[in-house]
Amino acid sequence: MKKKIIIDTDPGIDDAMAILFAHFAADIELVGLTTVFGNVSVEQATINACYLSDLMGGNIPVAAGSDHPLNRKNDRYPDWVHGKNGLGDITLNTPQTKALETDAVDFIIEQVLQNPGEITLVPIGPLTNIARALEKAPEIASKVKGVVLMGGAATVNGNVNPAAEANMLSDPLAADRIFTADWPVTMVGLDVTHQIIMDEMYLKRVHQSGTNIGNFITKISQFYLEFHRSTGTDGLYTHDPSTIAYLIKPDIFTIESGTIRVCTEGITAGLTIMNRSRKPYQQTAWDGIPKSDVCIDVDVDAFLDLYASIMTGH
Ligand code: RIB
Ligand code: CA
């Protein structure tokens, strides 16, 4: 039985790598892409998602979503990380695939309610669309198979500042709603994604298969490599593909369960605080919410072998 997933995405170079990784994974069925602001505007994210759908044969539906977080406007994008167009500023032809009339929130709700117990939501950008879908149709919480998200940091510092990982910081209120809702959440955060670095040799070995998708990833990853080099990392972090690796081969990750809250304001906005204590507290804001599964460690070699075997197999 294939795992049916909807990827909610702000493509984004590592988003693109995750989407194409999922496309090639035999036991994953990519039901659709829903787009959200984050690395780029939602307009650009939607263009990029349509371009990626073309690359995958044009049959993956794309639904456009939120252009700002739940409780504020947004007009700033980290173009120094993913480029102004979100895909390493490579030249992109106008995609053939057109976004659906249905928006991201309604697409998520419809797909989850039409396929009860089968759909895993895989948000790899800010969690605004997921929070809006949950608010509009709370019943999806009992109808999803699960939520496997890229974001947060339970045991390490953030990547935007010492407190916050980027997806959580982009919409901390949405993130807190996701972690406190009554549904199964798995957090694939910086605890593991900061351990997984693809260097240039590896990227060449895996993506220079001469296929159009291999060539595409080679081209977009140059900008992302330059950004990482500018921060002293000789390779690139594969944040978003880590969620797909978890779906394909969860046993390469070490999981710890605990309740998670997200700071929503102040200098620690976006901080994901997991209750890892085995001792009881008096009444706290971590009471009465379900535990999330958090990836706190990963077998890096197993991850790199898995990604390479799936991507070079095509
Ligand atoms: O912190 C990394 C996350 O923020 C990734 O999803 C990346 O694409 C950006 O959205
Ligand atoms: Ca992303």
Q: What is the position in ligand 1's atom list of the atom closest to the CA of 159?
A: 1
> Given pLDDT bands bounded at 50, 70 and 90, which one contains residue 293?
very high
Q: Which two tokens stand for residue 16?
A: 């693109």
Instruction: Please state the domain count of the chain.
Output: 1
Distance, CA 279 to ligand 1 centroid (Å)? 33
Q: What is the pLDDT of residues 31-42, one digit of tens each?
A: 999 999 999 999
Interhelix angle 212-230/13-24, rounded to 10 degrees, is 140
Which ligand gives the minimal distance to the CA of 161? Answer: 1
| Residue appearing with tokens 């590592």 | 14
Q: What is the position in ligand 1's atom list of the atom closest to the CA of 237?
A: 2
Q: Which residues in 37-68 are b (16+ Cβ under 10 Å) and which e?
A: bbbbbbebbbbbbbbbbbbbeeebbbbbbbbb
Q: Residue 314 pLDDT > 80, yes or no?
A: no
Q: What is the pLDDT of residues 222-270, one digit of tens each?
A: 999 999 999 999 999 999 999 999 999 999 999 999 999 999 999 999 9
Which ligand gives the minimal distance to the CA of 13? Answer: 1
Of residues 131, 182, 191, the one with CA closest to residue 8: 131
Ligand 1 pocket test target in 7, 9, 10, 33 with most atoms within 8 Å of CB: 10
Model pLDDT, residue 36: 98
Range of the domain at 186: 3-312
d(CA 41, CA 45): 6
Q: Chain centroid to CA 129: how far?
A: 12
- pTM over 0.95? The answer is yes
Of residues 294, 238, 12, the one with CA closest to residue 125: 12
Model pLDDT, residue 44: 98
Q: Chain centroid to CA 257: how far?
A: 20
For the chain, helix, strand, coil in percent to 5 are: 40, 15, 40
Distance, CA 64 to ligand 2 centroid (Å)? 15
Mean pLDDT of 261-285: 95
Distance, CA 8 to ligand 2 centroid (Å)? 9
Q: What is the position in ligand 1's atom list of the atom closest to the CA of 126?
A: 10
Q: Chain centroid to CA 93: how far?
A: 25
Question: Which residues are identified as catalytic?
Answer: 10, 239
Model pLDDT, residue 124: 99
Q: What is the pLDDT of residues 103-151, one digit of tens each?
A: 999 999 999 999 999 999 999 999 999 999 999 999 999 999 999 999 9
DSSP assignment of 261-313 equals EE--SGGGTT-EEE---SSPPSS-TTTTS--EEEEEEE-HHHHHHHHHHHHHT
Of residues 102, 148, 214, the one with CA closest to residue 4: 148
The CATH code of the domain that includes 215 is: 3.90.245.10
Ligand 1 pocket test target in 7, 37, 239 with most atoms within 8 Å of CB: 239
**Residues whose beta carbon lies within 6 Å of some atom of ligand 1:** 10, 12, 14-15, 38-39, 124-125, 150, 159, 165-167, 239-240
Distance, CA 281 to ligand 1 centroid (Å)? 33
d(CA 162, CA 49): 31
Residue 147 CA: distances (Å) to CA of 53, 121, 142, 295? 22, 5, 11, 13
Distance, CA 32 to ligand 2 centroid (Å)? 16
Which ligand gives the minimal distance to the CA of 270? Answer: 1
Q: What is the position in ligand 1's atom list of the atom closest to the CA of 15?
A: 8
